[in-house]
Amino acid sequence: MKNESGEASVEEENQKQPKEAGKFIKIKKFTFIMGIFLLIFLTAGITTIALTFGDEKVDPLASNKHSEFEKLYSTYDTIKDNYYEEIDQDKLVDGAINGMIKSLDDPYSTYMDKKEASSFHESISSSFEGIGAEIQEQDGKIMVVSPIKGSPAEKAGVKPNDIILSVDGKSLEGLSSSEAVLKIRGEKGTKVDLSITRAGEPEPIALTIKRDTIPIETVYAEMLDDGVAKIQVTSFSEHTVKELETALNDMSKKDMKGLILDLRGNPGGLLDQAIDMASLFIPNGEVVLQVEERSGKKEVFKSKNNGELKIPVVVLIDDGSASASEIVAAAVSESADIPLIGVKSFGKGTVQTAQDFDDGSNFKYTAAKWLTPEGNWIHKKGIKPDIKVNLPDYASLPYISPDKELKASDSSSEVKAAEKMLKAAGYNPGKIDGFFDEETTNAVKEFQKEQKVKETGIIKDDTTVKLMQVIREKILENDTQVKKAVEVLKKEIK
């Protein structure tokens, strides 16, 4: 399932995707929604997929049996009958439900009205229109879990843990992830203005992103040198395991001797897919994960492996790896001794259950927590890799809007970011101080000459786009985490 930033949000990550829109597939007695695929995209909408367990039916009339609801009924009747203006009764009821759920202070419990629920169900289809990022609500703010691979959000430089302050000038403060998704999503070709904050950046970053169609392709395979294959899994949707099996067969035909399973930036997805994927690497009958209810009762999910992958494997994780991807990472680490490489994962270890209402609205709430095979709870802690490897510093440089003009005598955080990009690209902008001086101008002109862009000494439009493209290519060429994974595998390949 996908978050809605796609606007997917991490909240629905553990939710099972049904074959019929609007219904949840059940695994035993639990339904998993893994993080709301706010694909923002920021796709079409990071709401993403949340891990959801639970299957109980909620009786909307059950509240009539409880005396503690008398105040609620009395308040509703008084407002309906005596408020000085006519009120929207549906809006009043929605507000009451929202109030109860928000009082839980839980970013993974949320209510969606009919419009929001419809948007969410669309986000589990085969494609989305949006910017392609998964988001979640955290402490009243909208945080990016991860941009979708190849999405407008990723190309614009959106990073995990970015906080989206506003959309088209309107604040997102206090909104749920599903409400934020409705503001971020939009038709292909339209633009959306975001204001974001990022750790280490003193000022908000302004982004203008053109929305696009975000297809749900979740597996990308390539052969590296010396028989090492790299397969990236970007989310867990309905056909992810089949895609992975196909990719493994294709790589085997190319004489694969070792495998890098890349779960970086993967915000989660369907639980059954996570279990099936982990089972490809874990011996039959070994534990994949445990689910613990409030009572302390645990249900154990075990590997359903029917074969054996007889090559060495390593798994890459980062701070954008969440929910279902953390289930797989923890499972292969603890039950198959497969090493994890990268940086600490996101840390989502709770399980939500979802309830649809007859009018098309729904709500979900946290009903349990999931534990690793050894019983560890990684919620808000994340999973630490066996081998910690950071990407180069320039991999975290902020996005610069092509519409923004940077020129001589300017002084700003954008100028400082541009100076760092120029230096990383092999040019000398002088002192990295955020001041656009003569040395910076000369470095820009040299860059423009080599990139066959008009030599103006000004960073704007094509120059900005080219500069960020060069940095993206440099990150791919110098992926320190992949290089370490290759190094580890080569020691194991026979």
Helices 240-253 and 271-279, interaxial angle, to 10°? 30
Q: Which residue in this structure is represented by tokens 């279902």?
A: 324
Catalytic, 334? Answer yes
Of residues 11, 137, 292, 334, which has the active-site annotation? 334
Supply the DSSP string of 67-120, one letter for each residue. Answer: GGGHHHHHHHHHHHHHSSS---HHHHHHHHHHHHHHTT--TT-EEE-HHHHHHH
348 in catalytic set: yes
Sign of CA dihedral 485, 487, 489, 491: negative
β-bridge pairing 298-302 and 350-356? unpaired
Contacts of 477 (CB under 8 A, 6+ apart): none
Spot the catalytic one: 123, 176, 177, 323.
Answer: 323
**Whether 211 contacts 156, CB under 8 Å:** no
Report the amino acid identity of residue 51.
L
Please, what is the Cα angle at 93 between 91 and 95, to 5 degrees?
70
Is 74 a residue of the active site?
no
| Helix (H/G/I), strand (E/B), else coil: 167 | strand
Q: How far apart are CA 416 and CA 106, in angstroms?
A: 38
8 A C-beta contact, residue 205 and residue 196: yes
Active centre residues (catalytic): 323, 334, 348
